[in-house]
């Protein structure tokens, strides 16, 4: 997918909602546990109920790895289902990977080629040669952590590095990397005031924004300070949508929550 | 495993060698490709040939994920084989994970409980609440990136943060986290002169040291500046040992390379 296509999908659906598929067997409706693959059945129902309201889905790989081989199979089935049934959806492997060059190349192969995700999240700590192997893939996107939505973001990311916060150094430095046009960034919604500063550095990059809803962020504020000419935002909601109900009506209730967010987005657009 | 047991194993084997099991199907002997699980067969042969010379094995998860479900199965078989046949071996899942709290908890469960690794590598960028879920596991170790061995280490890790390099801030900050006694750190061998500074901050912590051999680091220098009272070093070699030959004698040649390193270590100890 290209960013132009992503932008067009946002306009068509009047939505920049990303739904996080963080499936915890302790939280899904218990009747699904009797099925052969409860994680996939859950995802399939959520996708069927919300695909016209969302432009992206984001499975967090931790929730699949936690179930070993079975979990990995559920992840494969989920990404294949999205790619086959809803090819217009932008898919994000929320994996937060990053390693030395030859190893990052293996991760890139795993997520971009084998699983055929459109994008993968990566961590910046190991620098340029840990990220560039991901950037080498054409029409695939590497979403790098800049400023995250958790309390620990203040441990290092906002520390002053040679006159400015570390996350700004990360943003600026990454712009010089090869194929940096394939970069997007994770910016937490719990700190809407930071978006103004971030947009000075990356005016047009897409930002993946977790932390709206369950983590306390405000959609209006994020859009006010963070929206670019091509929208440039993917707002993620995970628990608030997928666990709206844990009864047999879970998919219907998930749609209701997604619809509320999509309508708020449509009004903003 | 406890650090006391790890220290005792080092004394018993006169070795602090960690062998990295980074298996690339393009690099292993071609006759193994006819077997049902070439990755596991390769690892098994390497482990059988070197287990008395090494105190730790470190599969890098990227190399398994790159082969999807089959790769994940090979990883499971490899860790189970080590745990059953050589329970004295310290096992490291080189995964470089890190995410918000509930997600890190899922990763910790995956590596410590389901796969039963002794340790896992993590990235520090997201701070305290992204690492503490790993630290909560008793007699399991969390090996956090401090100063890595790649060129990109100089992009952020050595930048000055409020008067000192970022990697020092990372080391110091992490000492205050809950269960910080379960922390070890990744410190690249390509920068032996840094070990003096690092030992002032973490005098007794175990350091996992990649970059000796193929990446250019020198064992003598690392030991001179980095060794602590309880040895406190795990020196990793991956390609230099496991790809010593790509013929039918690969395991034998791997043993020869491991033996050279172990003998050098025995002399130092």
Mean pLDDT split into 10-residue runs, chain B, 269 residues = 97 98 95 97 98 98 94 97 98 96 94 96 98 97 96 95 94 98 93 90 97 73 94 96 96 97 95
- pLDDT value at residue B193: 82
Q: Which of A21, A99, A128 is the best residue to mutate to test the B interface, defined by the most B CB atoms within 10 Å of its own CB?
A: A99
pLDDT in the model for residue B162: 87
Average pLDDT of every residue of chain A: 95
d(CA B77, CA B79): 6
Where is average pLDDT lowest: A178-187, A203-212, B166-175, B190-199? Answer: B190-199
Q: Do B128 and A69 touch (CB under 8 A)?
A: no
| pLDDT of A217 over the 90 cut | no
β-pairing verdict for A164-165 and A160-161: antiparallel
Q: In this predicted complex, what is the ipTM?
A: 0.95
Q: Which residue has the tokens 């499936």?
A: A23
Residues of chain A with Cβ-Cβ distance to B148 below 8 Å are 100, 125-126
pLDDT given for residue B215 in this prediction = 57
pLDDT band at residue A212 under the 50/70/90 scheme: confident
Query: pLDDT category, A214, cuts 50, 70, 90?
Result: low
Catalytic residue among A14, A44, A96, A260: A96
pLDDT over threshold 90, residue A192: no
For residue A215, the model assigns a pLDDT of 57
Integer Cα distance of B142 and B120 in angstroms: 5
pLDDT at position A117 over 60? yes
Domains in chain A, CATH or no CATH each:
3-268 (3.20.20.70)
Active site residue A224: no
How close is the nearest chain B Cα to the Cα of A250, in Å? 22
- pLDDT of A198: 96
Predicted local confidence at residue B214, as pLDDT: 56
Under an 8 A CB cutoff, do A152 and B127 touch? yes
Q: Is A72 on the interface with B (CB under 8 A)?
A: yes
| Residue A213 pLDDT exceeds 90 | no
Pairing type for strands B56-59 and B183-187 reads unpaired
Q: How far apart are CA B124 and CA B140, in angstroms?
A: 18
Identify the closest residue of chain B to A22 by CA–CA distance.
B103
Mean pLDDT calculated for residue range A34-61: 98
Q: Do A66 and B151 touch (CB under 8 A)?
A: no
Residue A20, helix vs strand vs coil: strand
Query: Rounded CA gap, A80 and A133, in Å?
Result: 24
């Amino acid at each position: 997918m290209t960013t132009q296509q992503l932008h067009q999908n946002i306009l068509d659906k009047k939505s920049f909602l990303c739904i996080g598929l963080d499936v915890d067997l302790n939280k899904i409706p218990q009747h699904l546990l009797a099925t052969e693959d409860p994680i996939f059945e859950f995802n399939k129902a959520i996708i069927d109920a919300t695909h016209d309201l969302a432009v992206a889905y984001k499975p967090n790989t931790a929730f699949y790895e936690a179930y070993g081989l079975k979990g990995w199979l559920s992840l494969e089935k989920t990404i294949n289902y999205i790619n086959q049934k809803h090819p217009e959806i932008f898919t994000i492997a929320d994996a937060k990977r990053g390693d030395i060059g030859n190893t990052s190349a293996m991760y890139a192969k795993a997520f971009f080629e084998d699983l055929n995700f459109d994008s993968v999240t990566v961590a910046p700590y190991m620098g340029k040669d840990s990220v560039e192997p991901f950037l080498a893939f054409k029409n695939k996107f590497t979403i790098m952590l800049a400023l995250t939505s958790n309390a620990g973001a203040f441990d290092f990311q906002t520390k002053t590095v040679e006159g400015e916060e570390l996350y700004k150094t990360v943003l600026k430095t990454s712009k010089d990397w090869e194929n940096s046009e394939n970069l997007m960034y994770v910016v937490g919604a719990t700190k809407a005031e930071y978006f103004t500063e971030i947009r000075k550095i990356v005016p047009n990059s897409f930002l993946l924004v977790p932390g709206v809803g369950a983590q306390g962020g405000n959609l209006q504020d994020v859009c006010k300070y963070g929206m670019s000419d091509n929208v440039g935002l993917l707002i993620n909601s995970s628990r608030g949508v997928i666990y709206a109900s844990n009864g047999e009506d879970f998919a219907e209730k998930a749609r209701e929550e997604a619809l509320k967010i999509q309508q708020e987005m449509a009004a903003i657009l």
